Amino acid sequence: MERELAWKKYKSKQIKEMESLSKSYKDFLNAGKTERECVKKSVELAKEAGYRDINEMLEGGYKLKPGDKVYAVNMDKAIALFNIGSEKLEDGMNILGAHIDSPRMDIKQNPMYEDGGFAYLDTHYYGGIKKYQWVAIPLAIHGVVVKKSGEIIDVVIGEDKNDPVVCVTDLLIHLAGEQLEKKASKVIEGEALDILIGSRPVEGDEKEAVKANVLKLLKKKYGIEEEDFLSAELEVVPAGKARDAGIDESMIMAYGQDDRVCAYTSLAAMLEIKDVKKTACCLLVDKEEIGSVGATGMQSKFFENIVAEIINMTGEFSELTLRRCLRNSKMLSSDVSAAYDPSYASYFDKKNAAFFGRGMVFNKFTGRGGKGGSNDANAEYIASIRKIMDEHNISFQTAELGKVDVGGGGTIAYILSLYGMEVIDCGVAVLNMHAPWEVTSKADIYETKNGYAVFLKYA
């Protein structure tokens, strides 16, 4: 059952809207290469749309009423937004949930060393990556350094056109005969992903003069000492901006589209909707790529606690009301799907694959092998979603993540389903998933944003 290309239904109005959305999305990607940066940009956009910080409202003893818009930030790495509806919260919410962390390399706590006249930073890769893809490409450093005084210093190196970039070196092809005999997972070892950051020695006879010169420059620009790396969170990501891809400019190529393409479309849909009956929620969380763990991941109590605060601010709180609210909610777990790639056709079941340009993708289940680790959405829920999408002319398709037993993956869907709510995975198809540069279709981004909006409004 082949789905129609979304492009075929577009008139000039839709093309203009799609290009506007694509530009805003690229701006979001460029501003948000880390979780902290994504949250900062999300707060900026939310405030422009009339959302207020929940902490300020709590301090003022404010009572929520229909039409109020509020957001809550968790440790600067996760954010939840609520548009209060006219119906009681115990009847449930319509929720979009995405993650804003992406595969990368994290700089270790004691990272800097000198060897062979070079200064390096030691790293530990984060999430599932093909390590060989991260060598010999321009890289940037983003993050924060927190001093003992509590001062937080934002660091971005490698993004401005006048900035230097850093890199991981690779073995020259002339000496790589033995290396090329290794398995792809061993061509570059994890401990070899060290960042080359300098080769110029400081003046004088100082020991480790190259390292000393780098530390001198960091002290001058950021006011940080070597020991300050102990309380730093610095992420190494591909340098460069999101770009249109294809001679026809039909696609976007950028770092971090898993899952920021779904995070942004969820946020954009949330910020545009008005006059909702059911309370609408957009949830952007951290740590999905490593199991949704920790205080900022979906397994934390952040979301549940904030929902309790929201209910309490309406004057209706009880433990039973909270449980009913979560149970009666409906959710789209906004996460990407693997796009069919003709260059690797043997890894896909073509009848059940996601194709570029055919709209947002629904995955009834993810997981591995025999659906291990997945949330398997109910047929009744899928039928109701189909009805909403068809009624509002949203192009959509269904897919699985590759052939059975070939591989697999997971999302935050199974965690939210533990509350008893209806959940299904839904998002944008991506080429090169988890590579330093990923590719998406502008048409799919546009359809997904529109699909998220009608879900929030009518589910």
**pLDDT single digits (tens) 121-148:** 999 999 999 999 999 999 999 999 999 9
* End-of-domain residue from the set 192, 208, 238: 238
Residues 433 and 338 in one domain: yes
Asked if residue 259 is part of any domain, the answer here is yes
Q: Identify the pLDDT of residue 364.
A: 87
User: Angle at Cα 258 formed by Cα 253 and Cα 263, nearest 5°?
Assistant: 105
pLDDT in tens, 401-448: 887 877 777 788 899 999 999 999 999 999 999 999 999 999 999 999
Q: Classify residue 246: in a domain, yes or no.
A: no
Mean residue pLDDT of the chain comes to 95
Are 124 and 91 in the same domain? Answer: no
Q: Measured in Å, how far apart are the chain's first and last C-alpha atoms?
A: 25
Q: Amino acid identity, residue 13?
A: K
76, 26: one domain: yes
Q: In terms of domains, do 453 and 405 share one?
A: yes
| Closest to 432 measured CA to CA, from 252, 309, 298, 294 | 252
**pTM recorded for the entire structure:** 0.95
pLDDT (0 to 100) of residue 86 = 95
CA distances from 442 to 252, 259, 320 (A): 7, 15, 43
Q: Helices (DSSP H) in 202-331: which residue ranges?
A: 209-222, 257-272, 302-313, 319-327
CB 67 within 8 A of CB 54: no
* 47 and 117 within one domain: no
290 with 385, same domain: the answer is: yes
User: If you count them, how many residues does the chain have?
Assistant: 459
Assess contact for 107 and 145: CB atoms under 8 A: no
Selection from 332, 330, 335, 334 nearest residue 419 by Cα? 330
Please identify, among 204, 238, 272, the residue that sits at the C-terminal boundary of a domain.
Answer: 238
Confidence check: pLDDT of 207 > 90 = no
Whether 248 maps to a domain, the answer reads: no
Q: Does the structure show a pLDDT above 80 at 57? A: yes
Q: Are both 412 and 343 inside the same structural domain?
A: yes
Task: Identify whether 243 is part of a domain.
Answer: no
Domain assignment of residue 1, yes or no: no
Q: Is 116 found in the same domain as 60?
A: no
User: Is the residue at 429 inside a domain?
Assistant: yes
Helices (H), 149-301: 184-187, 209-222, 257-272
pLDDT of residue 232: 97
Nearest to 360 by CA among 452, 259, 257, 437: 452
Query: Do 61 and 141 have their domain in common?
Result: no
Residue 332: beta bridge partners? 96, 424
Single out the residue in 171, 204, 238 at which a domain terminates.
238
pLDDT at 106 over 90: yes
Strand boundaries in 128-191, DSSP class E: 139-146, 152-157
Full residue range of the structural domain in which residue 444 is found: 6-102+255-458
The reply to whether 394 falls in a domain is: yes
Q: How far is CA 58 from the centre of its chain?
A: 29
Looking at the fold, whether 266 and 198 belong to one and the same domain comes out as: no
Q: What is the pLDDT of residue 217?
A: 95
- pLDDT, one tens digit per residue, over 316-370 is 999 999 999 999 999 999 999 999 999 999 999 999 999 999 999 999 888 777 8
**Do 120 and 184 have their domain in common?**
yes
Please check whether residues 220 and 291 belong to one and the same domain: no
Q: Given a cut of 90, is residue 379 above it in pLDDT?
A: yes
Residue 141 · residue 158 · CB < 8 Å: yes
Q: What is the pLDDT of residue 140?
A: 98
Regarding beta strands 69-74 and 243-245, do their DSSP bridges make them parallel or antiparallel, or are they unpaired?
unpaired
Domain harbouring 271, CATH code: 3.40.630.10
Whether residue 267 is contained in a domain is answered as: yes
- Total domain count, the chain: 2
Distance from C-alpha of 175 to C-alpha of 84, rounded to nearest angstrom? 63
Domain with residue 200: its CATH number is 2.30.250.10
